[in-house]
Amino acid sequence: MAFYHKSGKIPPKKHTTFYKEDKKSLYWEELVSSKGFSGIYSIKYHIHEPTKTTKIEEISLDNGVAWDKSPLMYYYFDTDKKKSDGDFLSARNVFLRNNHCSIATAHPNKNPDYFYRNAFAHEYIFVHRGKGIFTSDYGSIPFGPGDQLIVPLGTTFQILFDTMDNNKLFIVESDTPFEIPKHYRNDDGQLLENAPLCERDIVLPEYCDPVDKKGDFRLFLKANGRAFDYTLEHHPYDVVGWDGHLYPFIFNIKDYAPKVGKLHLPPPTHLLFDTQHFVLCNFCPRPFDFHPDAIPAPYFHSNVDSDEVIYYVEGEFLSRKGVKEGSVTLHPMGIPHGPQPGKIEESIGKKGTNEYAIMVDTFEPLQATLNVRDTMDPKYFKSWLTE
C-alpha cells in the first residue's frame, strides 16, 4: 500500500532502545519487509520475541485435486454446489489454479480456534455473504458484504463470523502482491482524481490493545500445497505498535466508482488491482454508453493471452442469461467468447445495469480441479447455439 500508517506505541527512532513499563526490559522490534528490504515494509513492536515456537507439525490441507483431463472449453459452474464444513480456511474449496494464483470459495460455518498465516501467498478475500471481524497482528477491521480484504503474505490473522449460517467468501491467492495500478496514482503514490477509488474508501486495521498471554497458541502456516501447525509460546497479537506501508486493508466493491463512455469500454476500465500474473476488476452498477446507436453489450472477443474468470455477485449480468449469484464462468485463452444469443440486441437502448461481479484475468492458463467438474453445467459450451 502506498500510504504510511502509524498505530499504537512506537519509539521515536527505528532500531533504538524501546523499554517496557519496568524501564528494564525491551519491546522486540520486527521489520516485515518485501522485495529483499527494497520494497514496502512495516515495523512491529512485540511484547515477546516473535520467534518463540515450541512445536512444528505438518498438517494436511485440501487444495483441490487437479482435473487432469479437463478439456479446453467454456466453463460455467456453481460454487454454491460445493460446500464444506469448516472455518474461513478449512472450508475453502479450490476451483482453479496455476503457478501464480488459486481461486477458491468457502462457506464458513464455524470460527477457528487457531491463527493463520499464508507464508507464500497474498490473499484477496471477497465477502459475498456474512458479517464479522477480521483480526490480525496489525489490528482489527469489522467486515460485511461487499468487502474486499487484502491480506499481505506473512500477516497473522483470523476471520471471525458473527453467525454461522449463510456465509460465503470468494478467495484469490497470489504469489505477487495485489497492487493499486500505477496509472491510478501520481508520482508520489497518491490516488489520482480520476481513479475509481480514493484513500477515504480504504479501511485500515483499528488499533487493538496487545494481548500479553503465555500458553500454547496454534498458528497454521500455509506454504503452497502444504501446511504446518506451529505452537507458539505466547499469543501472536502481542504488538504494542507498528508503522509503515505494509498492512492489510479493506475496500468495498460498492465504493468502486465505475467509468462510463460514449461507446463500450473494455474490461481494463474496471480494473481494481493488478499483480504480476493477473488482474482483478470490479464490475458495478453504472449507466450504459451514451452514443445514440451504442451497443452496450460487449462484442465477441478473443483475449489471446488471458484466461477470463468472472464471479457473479449480484444483479442481472449484461452479457449472460440464467446466471446465478455465486456462479463462475471461465472463458479460456484460445477460443473467442461473447454475449449469449439475444443479449446484444437486448442491450440496445438500455440505460444501465445493476450488476456486481468480480473478474480475474490470468496471464497463464488455469488448471481446473475436480470441484469444477462436480459443479459445472456440461452444456454451457452449447449456450451460444440458438436451437
Least Å from the CB of residue 72 to Fe ion: 16
Q: Which of 358, 312, 353, 309 is nearest to 333 (CA)?
A: 309
State the number of CA atoms in the 13 A half-sphere of 343 facing the CB. 22
What does the alpha-carbon distance between residue 75 and residue 122 come to, in Å, rounded to a whole number?
Answer: 26
Q: Which is nearer to Fe ion, 125 or 284 (CB)?
A: 284
CB-based contact 341:386 (threshold 8 Å): yes
Stretch that binds Fe ion, among 72-80, 86-94, 301-309, 345-353 (CB under 5 A): 301-309
Q: Which is nearer to Fe ion, 191 or 357 (CB)?
A: 357
Residues in contact with Fe ion, counted by CB under 5 A, come to a total of 1
Q: Which is nearer to Fe ion, 61 or 344 (CB)?
A: 344
Least Å from the CB of residue 375 to Fe ion: 21
CA dihedral (366, 367, 370, 376) positive or negative: positive
Binding residues for Fe ion restricted to 97-126, rule: CB under 5 A = none
What does the alpha-carbon distance between residue 104 and residue 328 come to, in Å, rounded to a whole number?
Answer: 11
Least Å from the CB of residue 359 to Fe ion: 8
Least Å from the CB of residue 337 to Fe ion: 6
Beta bridge partners of 179: 274
Binding mask 194-223 for Fe ion (x = CB under 5 A): ------------------------------
Least Å from the CB of residue 308 to Fe ion: 5
Beta bridge partners of 93: 105
Q: Which of 83, 73, 131 is nearest to 104 (CA)?
A: 83
H/E stretch holding 93: strand 93-97
DSSP 337: B
Stretch that binds Fe ion, among 82-90, 139-147, 253-261, 304-312 (CB under 5 A): 304-312
Q: Which is nearer to Fe ion, 255 or 308 (CB)?
A: 308
DSSP assignment of 18-57: -B-TTSSSBPEEEEEESTTTTS-EEEEEESS-TT-EEEEE
Q: Which is nearer to Fe ion, 112 or 298 (CB)?
A: 298
Stretch that binds Fe ion, among 202-210, 303-311, 346-354, 376-384 (CB under 5 A): 303-311
Q: Which is nearer to Fe ion, 139 or 332 (CB)?
A: 332
Q: Which is nearer to Fe ion, 169 or 310 (CB)?
A: 310
Least Å from the CB of residue 327 to Fe ion: 16
Least Å from the CB of residue 298 to Fe ion: 6
Please enumerate in sequence order all residues whose Cβ is within 8 A of that of 349, keeping only pairs 6 or more positions apart, or say none. Answer: none
Stretch that binds Fe ion, among 21-29, 234-242, 302-310, 365-373 (CB under 5 A): 302-310
Q: Which of 323, 381, 385 is nearest to 70 (CA)?
A: 381
Please enumerate in sequence order all residues whose Cβ is within 8 A of that of 208, keeping only pairs 6 or more positions apart, or say none. Answer: 135, 139, 140, 237
Give residues in contact with Fe ion (CB under 5 A). 308
